[in-house]
Structure 1
Amino acid sequence: MIKSLAVFALLVTFSAQAATWRITYPRPMSDSDKRSIYPVKLLALALEQTGVQYSLMPSERIMLQNKALKRLMDSRDVNVVWSVTDKQREQQLLPIRIPIYKGLIGWRLLLIRDDMPARFKYVQKLEHLIKLIPVQGRDWPDTKVLQANGFNVTVDNAYGNLFNLLRRAQGDFFPRSLVEVWDEIDNPAYNSDLMVEKEIAIRYPAAMYFFVNKKSRPLANLLEKGIEKAIADGSFEQLFVHTFQAKLDRANMPNRHVFELENSFLPTATPLERKELWYHPNEQKQGQ
């Protein structure tokens, strides 16, 4: 009897170890869309840290962010999505409250038409910038942030269309985060007639999290455990530096005029007190 119980226990243990966590994330908008590369690498790092067996794959179909979030709420097609947090999003989904970009998503450079730089030289105060029109995604939390700070925002559902709005002068600038802007301006699919404005930046507190379905607490715990272990052993920072340091250097932040915006949509549970989770441009270069 004792021997049989021991064998059963070993089988249960082996079965648990052999179980595979199947992680499905939204498929990128196109082959030239590089925005998924870093989040997927971080997901893989977190899962490796836990020692579980896993498969990590994109959804069968391309989904705009709003559709991906709805699918996640319905437990269909995807079981993890990364997105900028706000109060509504945290009511609908379960966040892993570690800002995967260390807050870089709230540090914004301005994509403008290449015939516009002279106009931006006259922008010396926030009230000057507010007179210009940004373009943004219709359902992006950043859109609400800009509107709450007094901007008249031109919106569209499709990411690729936003660049066209700017080219057609239906907006004056497209604020893009430090993690996105250089891939976009180097991409022939997006960069025609556009440039990165050289003297201005916008900053507001913002966090992009991994989100899972409200009922997926075990998955949330697994990912949180893995990311925290990666933070503790330095591998999170190594991935961050490897991915973004050259982009931060290229942004030349110390020589930019940074306009600070308020973000009243930031949930109170945002871990602002954990300084190691956030990018600080005035401190020594990350990883040195």
Structure 2
Amino acid sequence: MLKPIARLCIRAALAAALLAAGQAAATDIVIFDQPVSKADRRREYANALLNAVLQRTVPEFGPYEIRHAAVHMERPRLFEALKDGKLVNLTAYPATANWMRELKPVPIPIDMGLQSWRIFLIDAKTQPALRAAHTLGQLARLRAGSGSAWATLESLKEAHLSVVTGSSYNGLFQMLMAGRFDYLPRGVNEIFAEYDTHKQDYPALAVEETLLLHDQIPSLFFVAPGETRLHRRITAGMEALLKDGSLERLVLDYHRNDLRRAKLCTRKRFELPNRQLDPALFGRKELWLNPFEARHGFCPALLPR
């Protein structure tokens, strides 16, 4: 007959085994944020990447389920909801100092930095004035548009550019076409989808042809502070996709046509400061895709003849 101490040890071991089995079988619930509308295609790539990340980590972390928040939330409301972690526990957004500090960032740019290469939506009649801007000082004579809570706002201001802000995403397109500002900087990964979506409503809408801003603001996955396991899972998946080249392939699969349409190599390029973020975030060179590298084929002048 087993002694009482031995029975207690066996019970404890069985309880631990059952708990471990329950944890292994648990499904990770991801609640991702909603786009502005069904016409807003900015979340297509992030959703595809999220699926790839979670699928890659099934052997280590087990099953998962992706849900979406009930409603779209503008950036300030989304930030508060993420801190609470009930309505949404994951998003992908350009990084700011307070998001880096108060949420759990995954420090690998989801698009390898493509969104930080910015070209402009404009009213077509503004093209001559922008074509004549050869310095940041000359560009500062014109007015940029920005969301009032966008990460790029501080970089525009630090470069001493004139900025007019709006409080809603859709409202910025109306403000642009009403002449409230002269150009709306957008990531090369998002501008053509936005142009194609809004062109019918705004026939004079155009993509500016000559200028390029680089604001060095990475777009990252941000996890709710209480979701330590989910943060470990997303980080592990991103590292795995980065290591075997899957991340770069996915970025290019989704954005190759955008990069071709952007014709970055023909544009005058301005570097904008980013003093909001820890420079250590930029230390890993393998995290960043350089669209000017000859191997990508977007700059014909750089290719061997």
> Kindly, what percent of the aligned residue pairs are identical?
28
Residue in 1 aligned with 2:96?
86
Residue 221 of structure 1 corresponds to which residue in structure 2?
232
Answer yes or no: is the 8 Å Cα contact 1:184–1:191 preserved in 2.
Answer: no
Q: Out of 251, 257, 263, which is 1:252 matched to?
A: 263
Shift of 1:180: 0.8
Q: Which moved more, 1:92-101 or 1:232-241?
A: 232-241
Alignment of 1:1-288 (within 5 A): 11-51=18-58, 52-188=62-198, 191-270=202-281, 272-286=282-296
How has the CA–CA distance of structure 1 residues 127 and 287 changed in structure 2, closer, same or farther, with 3 Å as cutoff?
A: closer
Contact 2:136-2:161 within 8 A present in 1 as well = no
Which residue is 2:3 aligned to? none
Query: Do the aligned partners of 2:151 and 2:217 also contact (CA within 8 Å) in 1?
Result: no
What amino acid is aligned across from residue 22 of structure 1 in structure 2?
A: I
Q: TM-score, normalised on structure 1? A: 0.93
The one-letter code matched in structure 1 to 2:155 is V
SS of the residue aligned with 2:269? strand
> 1:25 corresponds to which letter in structure 2?
F
Q: CA–CA distance in 2 between the matches of 1:287 and 1:274?
A: 23
Task: Please give the alpha-carbon distance, in whole angstroms, between the structure 1 residues aligned to 2:271 and 2:296.
Answer: 22
Superposed displacement of residue 75, structure 1: 2.0
Tell me the alpha carbon deviations over residues 121-143 of structure 1, each in whole angstroms, 9 at most, x when there is no partner.
21111111011101110011111
- Amino acid in structure 1 at the alignment position of 2:177: R
Is the contact made by 1:245 and 1:286 (CA closer than 8 Å) also made in structure 2?
no
Runs of at least 5 residues in structure 1 that lack an aligned partner in the other structure: none
Give the counterpart letter for 1:283 in structure 2: E
Structure 1 position 264, deviation (Å):
1.3
* Offset from partner CA, 1:1-22 (integer Å, 9 cap, x none): 7998887666444422321111
Distance in 1, matches of 2:177 and 2:215, equals 26
Return the offset for 1:119: 1.8
Q: Give the whole-Å Cα distance in 1 for the aligned partners of 2:48 and 2:236.
A: 16
**Counterpart Cα distance in 2 of 1:137 and 1:191:** 19
What value does the CA root-mean-square deviation take over the aligned residues? 2.1
Consecutive unaligned residues of structure 2, counting only runs of 5 or more, are 1-6, 299-305
Aligned amino acid, residue 84 of structure 2: D
Q: How many residues align?
A: 287
One-letter amino acid of the counterpart of residue 236, structure 1:
L
Q: TM-score, normalised by structure 2?
A: 0.88
Deviation (angstroms), 1:235: 1.8
The 3-state SS of whatever aligns with 2:125 is coil
CA–CA distance in structure 2, aligned partners of residues 6 and 17 of structure 1: 16
**What one-letter code is carried by the residue in structure 2 that aligns with 1:90?**
M
Q: Aligned partner of 2:30: which letter?
A: I
